[in-house]
Chains A and B, each alone.
Chain A
Amino acid sequence: MSKPITSLQERIASGKSLLIAEISPPRGADPAPVREVAKRFAGKVHALGISDNRDRVSMAALAAAAIVTGEGVEPILHITTRDRNRIALVSEVLGAQALGIRNVLCTSGSHQTLGRFRAAKNVYDVDSIQLLQLYANLASQCGPLGEEGIAGAGPFCLGGVASPDADPLELQVSRSLKKAAAGAEFLITQPVFDLDRFGAWWKEVTRRGIHEKVAIVAGIQLLGQEELASVSEGKRHPYKIPAASIDRIASKGDSAAKRAAAVELSVETIGKLSACKGLRGFGICGDGDHEAALTIIEKSGLGSK
């Protein structure tokens, strides 16, 4: 195999466990908070995912990823197909490469009507699978852009999202397979709360040998105040949060107790999922609470080695 293009890719190839954290860039133009967060995660994770305007407008993920790189942390740049057509998507990844960013997670992104930018127009020119394929072959072919390949473009260490809770299970599993075939080297699942459903999904994933084609990392998200509030408002989530999990946290008195219970739930979930043979690691998201994410990493014994 040729020389790994990123440390993450090297880690994936090594077969060792993976530990990723995810942050959202700040809602503003000040680079200082990005630097601070990067410093906190430095040396503690193998890579830091940078979300792309997840549910509100924030600093460009590419800019945040470049700042993170400057702090010595390897970023995973998230790129959604919601906001850019194929022209902008290719341009974006070329810019990433120019800035030394080669880990790219391709996702369709949550529909804009679910965020605070409800009135915005979406794009969805290509889907996440088509984007993976486009990025994976950028140097040799650029057919969807009506052009020859772009000399020197890539290679990238590409990833995608897997959705254990989403339906229909059969097509969700086949989408993961397609992502691997399109060029994904890693898949991060949507946050796991429903272990029974994850078990059913994992059974199908392993039956089809997808975990042997692509490194699958389980997403762990802190059930924070905002998340709890949205559940109580009846907002739909792409992932299932069992009522028992919500009650367990909501029943706690003050916000400190709720936070502690949420950390405990995440640590427990990691413990249970660790029994899944073939699962390559975890992607931790503190949902804005980076210290909680670090506590989850520490308490679950996942500390990067």
Chain B
Amino acid sequence: MIVADRKKIPQIRDMVKNHRRVLLVGCGTCVTVCLAGGEREVGILGSALRMALRLQHHDVVVDECTIERQCEDAFIDILAQRAPEYDAICSLGCGAGVQALAERFSNIAVYPGLNTQFMGILESQGVWTEKCSGCGNCLLGEFAGICPITRCAKHLLNGPCGGSRGGKCEVNANIDCGWQLIHDRAGKLGILDPFEQIVPPHDWSTGLDGGPRKVVREDQCIAGLGPKS
């Protein structure tokens, strides 16, 4: 899932303080699961934001709502009638959700209430970790199911750097060394031999380095309705 966490209240307050009516919009998918932008978090932010604005004598109306999915226009429809009552929207969706709302409501200011972090998993209660960079060319089959691009701070494909110590990354002792994990799992699976071969340079053009990406499934497209370009 996409993991995010909320911006600090003063930062959100400063973004919206010059507006008159602000609608906080939560999202019912990833950010609900990672406890950052679901209905509950919208409620908490709403109360805190109203208080923060009032303490600085900003006369701003803050209302709340949560939709099922901000990243799909069909779900944003539910806001179509209500949104024009506001001069600003603060989205508690991921970066995709924020931009989907901005595309839909071209006359309303849209702000992010969250910092979108990464694609990852719930490691333990209250702890999420990054697992995928969305590089567009999945290599997990060649690296024992552990991604060297995401889990190694230097995206190394030919083994660990000289900073791997005791299973931890040189960047931070709280980060597991991805290559130690690959080594341990490949060892258990008895597939360490291939790691003796030199892996050639990666083609990064399938990732963000190739420009913003688009997935088009012709078999799913409806004639006359898309893709947009």
Contacts and interface: CB of A to CB of B under 8 A. Distances in A.
A178 B156 contact: no
Contact of A127 (B153, B154, B183, B192): B154
Size band of the interface chain B makes with A: 20 to 34
B211 interface: no
A152 interface: no
Interface of A: 81-82, 86, 108, 110-111, 113-114, 122, 124-127, 129-130, 133-134, 143-144, 161-163, 165-168, 170-172, 174-175, 177-178, 181-182, 190, 236, 238-240
Contact of A171 (B154, B155, B167, B179): B179
B196 A177 contact: yes
Contact of A161 (B154, B158, B162, B173): B162
A167 B201 contact: no
A45 B183 CA distance: 39
B165 A165 contact: yes
Contacts of A143: 200
Contacts of B184: 168
Most central of B154, B156, B170, B196 by chain A CB within 10 Å: B154
Nearest to A174: B196
Interface in B170-213: 170-173, 177, 179-180, 183-184, 192, 195-196, 198-202, 204
For the residues of B in contact with A, the DSSP-based class is loop
Given A167-B165, A236-B165, A238-B163, A124 B156 contact: yes
B198 A238 contact: no
B96 to A, nearest CB: 22
Given A170-B192, A171-B183, A238-B170, A111 B154 contact: yes
Closest 10 CB pairs of A and B: A163-B162, A144-B201, A238-B163, A129-B158, A175-B159, A166-B162, A171-B159, A126-B201, A168-B183, A127-B156
Contacts of A238: 161-163, 165, 170
26 contacts: A81-B154, A82-B154, A108-B156, A111-B171, A114-B170, A122-B154, A124-B154, A124-B156, A125-B202, A127-B158, A130-B199, A165-B162, A166-B162, A167-B160, A167-B166, A167-B167, A167-B180, A168-B160, A168-B164, A177-B196, A178-B158, A236-B170, A238-B161, A238-B162, A238-B163, A239-B162
A127 B157 contact: yes
A133 B172 CA distance: 30
B153 A171 contact: no
Contacts of A127: 154-158
B163 A174 contact: no
A167 B180 CA distance: 7
B153 to A, nearest CB: 5
Given A133-B198, A236-B173, A166 B161 contact: yes
A130 B162 contact: no
B170 A130 contact: no
B159 A178 contact: yes
A172 B199 CA distance: 15
A134 B201 CA distance: 9
A168 to B, nearest CB: 5
B170 A110 contact: yes
Contacts of A182: 198
Contacts of A81: 154
Given A166-B163, A171-B179, A111 B200 contact: no
Contacts of A124: 154-156
Given A161-B162, A172-B159, A130 B154 contact: no
Given A130-B199, A171-B160, A174-B159, 14 more contacts: A113-B171, A127-B155, A144-B201, A163-B162, A167-B160, A167-B166, A170-B183, A171-B183, A172-B160, A178-B159, A178-B198, A181-B198, A190-B162, A238-B161
Interface in B124-168: 153-167
A182 B157 CA distance: 14
Most central of B161, B165, B179 by chain A CB within 10 Å: B161
Nearest to B167: A167
Nearest to A165: B165
Contacts of B179: 168, 171
Contacts of B173: 236
Contacts of B198: 129-130, 133, 178, 181-182
A203 B157 CA distance: 26
A130 B202 CA distance: 10
A254 to B, nearest CB: 32
Contacts of A171: 159-160, 179, 183, 195
A239 B192 CA distance: 25
Contacts of A122: 154
Contacts of B202: 125
Nearest to B154: A124
B201 A86 contact: yes
Contact of B177 (A82, A161, A162, A167): A167
